[in-house]
Structure 1
Amino acid sequence: MNNEDYLKDISEIKNLMNKSSRFISLSGLSGILAGVYALIGAAVAFWLVTTYSYGELYLDGWVFRTAMLILFLVALFSVVTGIILTTRKAKKNNEKIWDNSSKRLLLNFLIPLIVGGFYCLIILSQGRYGQTGGLMLIFYGLALVNASKYSIGDIRYLGYTEIILGLIAAAFPGYGFWLWVLGFGMMHIVYGTWMHFKYDRR
């Protein structure tokens, strides 16, 4: 056996170990659609606030409740789309959708996300609306970085981007909404497109 055979065997072993410890069937297309959902939701919420509340939100008002419902629907559609497309990709690649690697991925993603969600609700209940956009970006970014150890490592770059945008939003709360749109909308589309052509089109 020559050196090329040894290198080939080592490469195959490395790939097998990587597949056994990481969930790699995430769909780039689901990232694109999540970004589109976020842009549509943001546009509707912006129209509601500027048309019916003159740019001001009140916790007990119907506009605020509707904006929260829109945010929930954006998250729901993104999750459902991600599950459907990722399941389809996993079946196409003859991979299991629910194994130890996917469980670790989900757990490490959800812990920062759930903590961040409760913290944002606390901030909202105190009427500090300007901080929530930055907090959402920061905790979502942390969730992505935390989960990247058990999935495609490239998602950590999206996580870093979301964290940076969140910190900028925290420093300039007046731009929180637009940075939220940039982070959850445009960055998802850019990342999803990159991942789609890098992995899905193979």
Structure 2
Amino acid sequence: MDTNLDDIKHIRSMMERSSKFLSISGMSGVLAGTSAIVGAIVAYLVLEGRFTFTGSLLYDFILIAAVVLISAVTAGLTLSARKAKLSNAKLWQPVTLQIAKDFCVPLVIGGLFCIILIYKHVAYLVAPGMLIFYGLGLIAAGARTYRDVKILGACEIILGLVAAVVVGYDLIFWAVGFGVLHIVYGILIYYKYDMKSAKNG
């Protein structure tokens, strides 16, 4: 009887791995959140006129956002690859590519929308727009990975909507959404899934 149950659990695990991406690392969320908070602090100093990278406030913000994004993506891919290797799974598989597509569509649309907002001189809605579209991307991608990703996405959307109403605190909302929420999410993922995977490994 125990053997049959073990076989069923093994088959279920194999099916879940093929249909869902379970190699997301909690520590990558923590590192991404930390990068975002550091980026927000640097952006605040630039906004205060303490220093500048390019001589243009807009270009400085774009540069900071790019560095934060590259740091977060690099950390995510590196740690997820490590987790996949430990669990004898592949990082790049059909479900991974589908998640990337699901996630990128709202992000690209959101990015274009934010460019339009800047062009139309309503930059105070850029941070809320980024949070909302990022949240939509997480919800879209969350169908093929941990349910917690959808919850994070919902939190990002709610925060973005609040930021659109409470004007003047864009940088704070940005730091909370991309920084604090990611750190909290990363810690939860680490203790909920990563430690379990390490023990099973």
Structure-2-length-normalised TM-score = 0.90
C-alpha contact 1:134 1:173 (8 A) present in aligned 2: no
- The structural deviation recorded for 1:15 is 2.4
CA RMSD for the aligned pairs?
1.9
Opposite residue 64 of structure 2, the aligned amino acid is I
Answer yes or no: is 1:191 the counterpart of 2:185: yes
**1:201 match: secondary structure:** helix
1:168 positional shift: 0.4
Match of 1:88 among 68, 82, 86: 82
Q: Percent identity?
A: 40
Q: Which residue of structure 1 aligns with residue 194 of structure 2?
A: 200
Q: Which runs of 5+ in 2 are unaligned?
A: 197-201
Match of 1:41 in 2: 39
Q: What pairs up with 1:1-202 in 2 under 5 angstroms?
A: 9-51=7-49, 62-202=56-196
Q: Is the 8 A contact 1:42 1:181 kept in 2?
A: yes
Structure 1 runs (4+) greater than 6 angstroms displaced: none
Alpha-carbon displacement from aligned partner over 1:110-166 (angstroms, at most 9, x marks no partner): 111111111111111222111011000000000001001111121111001000000
Distance 1:112 1:193 in 2: 26
> Compared with structure 1, are the counterparts of its residues 154 and 37 closer, same or farther at alpha carbon in structure 2 (3 Å cutoff)?
same
**How far 1:177 moved relative to its partner?**
2.0
Structure 1 contact 52–63 (Cα < 8 Å) conserved: no
Distance in 2 of aligned mates of 1:133 and 1:63: 15
TM-superposed CA distance for 1:7, in Å, is: 5.4
The letter for the 1-side match of 2:15 is M
TM-score when normalising by structure 1: 0.89
List per-residue Cα deviations over 1:20-57 (Å, max 9, x = no partner).
1001001110100000000000001111111269xxxx
What is the deviation of 1:64?
Answer: 1.9
SS at match of 2:23: coil
- Alignment: residue pair count: 194
